[in-house]
Amino acid sequence: MMLIVDKVTKSIGTKKILQECSLNVQAGQICGLAGPNGAGKTTLLNCIAGVLTPEAGQIELDGKDLIHQPLNRKALFLISDDFDFHPFGTIRQMKEFFDIFYSLDEGELARHFNHFKLEEKNGIYSLSKGQKRQVLFSIALSLDLRLLMVDEVYDGLDWNVRRYLVRELTNRISDKSMALLLVSHSLKEIKGICDHCFLMKDQSIVAQEDLLENHLFRIQLVFREECKPDFKALEIIRTQQIGKCWNAIVRANEQTLRRVMAQLSPVLADVQPLSLEDYFSLMTDSSWKGEEEDDGEIF
Ligand SMILES: Nc1ncnc2c1ncn2[C@@H]1O[C@H](COP(=O)(O)OP(=O)(O)OP(=O)(O)O)[C@@H](O)[C@H]1O
């Protein structure tokens, strides 16, 4: 595992923002990080990047401690959604600022600046929000990184810039030397570029999904009488019982699913493939029970 975030806890003032938050990212992965407003996504990125120091937990990149060894952070870069460089500085000064800590590949940087028609002599104040992001992406793409994190990945960027960045970023990770962790509020955007997605809610990661191997289904079963169906052969993610009706979110092969459902012999059965949007909505809906919240008798 390349990035390991293990049980990270962070408070700001008296408020707990992250509570034993854990996630792992492998080299070559493009991971999305989604979740409701205020869930703690930005705080998590800031803890990984060293902008904030957690009070408990471990963060490692390639087995190297990121919390207490700042130099290990040279292998990562965070494009935050509110980066504010000295307003009277120029693009050149911004480049030189990052060059103090990182080693920029000047040729690569010039290629991106040319593409975006960015001139180093220009003042940061003269740039639009999207152009400021273009500068940061150009710098990030010119570094020798293991992990690039982007908060609000497409914020302020037009469709041509997005297409260019998707191409450049996927090229960069194709040799599996690097990974991406991208925060977005749009699951559509996440599905468009990511191969894995984490869902954050209430200060920690509550679900994750492989977007390439997505075999999620929502099943609805109605029985003659109230009962506790035997779902053992299926990987149950969530269940909800309303009288004689059982709803469940399962991860399964469709054939196995249909066989198990036939064995349960309900009066009525419905199977629907589950979209990521629906899955994450259900994971944030407290009327559904997770396996760990059950009394253990059913599964
Ligand atoms: N400096 C701070 N002082 C106090 N509380 C803070 C501070 N920064 C963040 N918080 C709180 O921490 C929680 C998580 O904030 P964070 O910005 O990490 O969430 P987020 O998931 O990125 O949200 P959004 O999707 O709205 O960008 C929020 O409840 C927020 O109010």
Contact 32, 194 (CB under 8 A): yes
Across-strand partners of 235?
251
Residue 268: per-residue pLDDT: 92
User: For residue 105, how far is its CA from the centre of ligand 1 (angstroms)?
Assistant: 34
Give nearest CA residue, ligand 1 atom 31. 38
Separation in Å, CA 45 to CA 95, 155, 241, 251, 266: 22, 16, 37, 29, 46
User: For residue 40, how far is its CA from the centre of ligand 1 (angstroms)?
Assistant: 6
Pairing of strands 196-201, 216-222: unpaired
Note whether 189 and 252 are same-domain residues.
no
User: For residue 42, how far is its CA from the centre of ligand 1 (angstroms)?
Assistant: 7
Q: How far apart, in whole angstroms, are the C-alpha atoms of residue 292 and residue 79?
A: 36
User: For residue 152, how far is its CA from the centre of ligand 1 (angstroms)?
Assistant: 14
Note whether 115 and 16 are same-domain residues.
yes
Q: Is 12 in the pocket of ligand 1 (CB under 6 A)?
A: yes
Ranges of H-type helices in the chain: 41-49, 91-101, 106-116, 129-141, 159-173, 187-193, 254-264, 276-283
Ligand 1 site-directed mutation target among 8, 21, 43, most atoms within 8 Å of CB? 43
Q: At which of 182, 210, 238 does a domain end?
A: 210
> Is residue 33 a part of any domain in this protein?
yes
Range of the domain at 67: 3-210
> Could you tell me which of 167, 293, 180 has the C-alpha nearest to residue 241?
293
Note whether 110 and 198 are same-domain residues.
yes
Structural domain total, the chain: 2
Which contiguous run of DSSP H or E holds residue 79? strand 76-79
Give nearest CA residue, ligand 1 atom 29. 38
| Residues in contact with 237: Cβ distance below 8 Å, sequence separation at least 6, in sequence order | 207, 216, 248, 249, 250, 251, 279, 283, 290, 291
3-state class percentages of the chain: helix first, strand second, coil last, to nearest 5: 30, 30, 35
Residue 147: per-residue pLDDT: 97
For residue 81, the ligand 1 atom closest to its alpha carbon is: 27
Note whether 206 and 226 are same-domain residues.
no
The pairs formed by 65-70 with CB atoms below 8 angstroms and a separation of 24 or more are: none
Contact 34, 153 (CB under 8 A): no
Ligand 1 site-directed mutation target among 14, 16, 18, 41, most atoms within 8 Å of CB? 41
Which contiguous run of DSSP H or E holds residue 251? strand 245-251
Ligand 1 site-directed mutation target among 18, 19, 23, 42, most atoms within 8 Å of CB? 42
User: For residue 208, how far is its CA from the centre of ligand 1 (angstroms)?
Assistant: 21
> Is residue 298 a part of any domain in this protein?
no
Q: Is 202 in the pocket of ligand 1 (CB under 6 A)?
A: no
Note whether 285 and 171 are same-domain residues.
no
Q: 192 φ, ψ to 5°? A: -70, -25
> Is residue 110 a part of any domain in this protein?
yes
Residue 276: per-residue pLDDT: 79
Please measure the distance between the N-terminal and C-terminal CA atoms of the chain and give it in whole angstroms.
31
Biggest CA pair distance of the chain: 76
> Is residue 173 a part of any domain in this protein?
yes
Give nearest CA residue, ligand 1 atom 17. 42
Q: At which of 188, 210, 232 does a domain end?
A: 210
Q: At which of 184, 210, 236 does a domain end?
A: 210
Within 13 Å of residue 31, how many CA atoms lie on the same side as its CB? 26
> Is residue 233 a part of any domain in this protein?
yes
Note whether 202 and 231 are same-domain residues.
no
Residue 176: per-residue pLDDT: 77
Question: Which ipTM value was assigned to this complex?
Answer: 0.97
> Is residue 299 a part of any domain in this protein?
no
> Could you tell me which of 234, 268, 284, 237 has the C-alpha nearest to residue 254?
234
Q: Provide the 10 A C-beta neighbour count for residue 181.
A: 28
> Is residue 272 a part of any domain in this protein?
yes
Domain of 159: which CATH number? 3.40.50.300
Note whether 19 and 121 are same-domain residues.
yes
For residue 45, the ligand 1 atom closest to its alpha carbon is: 18
Q: Is 41 in the pocket of ligand 1 (CB under 6 A)?
A: yes
Q: How far apart, in whole angstroms, are the C-alpha atoms of residue 39 and residue 63?
A: 27
Note whether 179 and 223 are same-domain residues.
no
Residue 102: per-residue pLDDT: 93
Note whether 235 and 199 are same-domain residues.
no
Q: Is 37 in the pocket of ligand 1 (CB under 6 A)?
A: yes
DSSP secondary structure of 173-221:
HTTSS-EEEEE-S-HHHHHHH-SEEEEEETTEEEEEEESSS--EEEEEE
Q: Is 29 in the pocket of ligand 1 (CB under 6 A)?
A: no
User: For residue 38, how far is its CA from the centre of ligand 1 (angstroms)?
Assistant: 5
**Assigned token pair, 142:** 């010119």
Give the residues of the chain that fall short of pLDDT 50: 292-299
> Is residue 46 a part of any domain in this protein?
yes
Note whether 127 and 177 are same-domain residues.
yes
Residue 213: per-residue pLDDT: 67
Note whether 150 and 278 are same-domain residues.
no
Note whether 145 and 22 are same-domain residues.
yes
